[in-house]
């Protein structure tokens, strides 16, 4: 690892100090400190789930936007880390919006949309791809109803107008794929340089 790459954070970086230079190390520290937390109803931890999606995307030669989108799509489960937690929040209702809100300062819209719309994408695919429903885990089927069930025709048309539709759908499939008990993956720091490239792209820094 060269000095230009993000380094693992040894302490909890206060949210107020987050900037282009510190966001990647901060995200990594969340994976390191809290990745072992339970992913309710699934046979993997939260960290394993997101790392599996990113790893499968990388193994399949998918672009960095999709790898990073998969890596960060559930970061909304950790928004208390960013000081944006509100006592009225419930994770099931808001984690995709909360996650996108903390990411949008640092990442291009393709990444934040993969986060913001990963729940909507499930509702979209259930409405448009009958075979998709079979991929859902029992926990995901249960939350589908809480999330509003399959989209209606009007919602489908609105969803298809998103310019990042292809990436959003790709990350949704990785969300389903990343629930494999015992799958080996690299840790967050393997992906850190590409996460930093996404941040630099959004913040107008070229390497």
Residue numbers at the binding site for Fe ion (CB under 5 A): 74, 175
- Which are the contacts of 146, defined by CB distance < 8 A and separation ≥ 6? 92
Residue where the block lists tokens 């994770």: 91
If the CB atoms of residues 179 and 202 are measured against Fe ion, the closer one turns out to be: 179
If the CB atoms of residues 13 and 110 are measured against Fe ion, the closer one turns out to be: 110
If the CB atoms of residues 81 and 175 are measured against Fe ion, the closer one turns out to be: 175
Minimal distance, residue 170 CB to Fe ion, in Å: 13
Minimal distance, residue 204 CB to Fe ion, in Å: 30
Minimal distance, residue 171 CB to Fe ion, in Å: 9
If the CB atoms of residues 6 and 107 are measured against Fe ion, the closer one turns out to be: 107
If the CB atoms of residues 6 and 58 are measured against Fe ion, the closer one turns out to be: 58
Minimal distance, residue 74 CB to Fe ion, in Å: 4
Minimal distance, residue 118 CB to Fe ion, in Å: 6
């Amino acid at each position: 690892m060269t000095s230009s790459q993000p380094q693992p954070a040894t302490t909890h970086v206060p949210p107020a100090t987050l900037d282009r230079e510190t966001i990647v190390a901060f995200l990594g520290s969340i994976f390191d400190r809290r990745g072992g937390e339970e992913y309710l109803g699934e046979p993997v931890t939260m960290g394993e789930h997101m790392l599996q999606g990113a790893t499968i995307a990388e193994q399949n030669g998918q672009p960095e936007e999709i790898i990073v989108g998969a890596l960060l799509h559930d970061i909304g489960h950790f928004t208390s880390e960013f000081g944006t937690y509100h006592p009225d929040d419930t994770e099931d209702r808001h984690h995709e919006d909360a996650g996108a809100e903390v990411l949008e300062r640092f990442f291009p819209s393709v990444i934040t949309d993969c986060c913001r719309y990963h729940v909507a994408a499930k509702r979209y695919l259930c409405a448009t791809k009958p075979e998709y429903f079979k991929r859902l885990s029992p926990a995901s089927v249960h939350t589908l109803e809480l999330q509003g069930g399959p989209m209606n025709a009007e919602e489908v048309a609105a969803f298809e107008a998103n310019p990042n539709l292809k990436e959003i759908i790709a990350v949704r499939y990785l969300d389903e794929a990343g629930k494999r008990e015992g799958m080996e993956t690299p840790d967050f720091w393997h992906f850190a340089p590409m996460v930093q490239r996404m941040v630099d792209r959004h913040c107008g820094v070229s390497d």
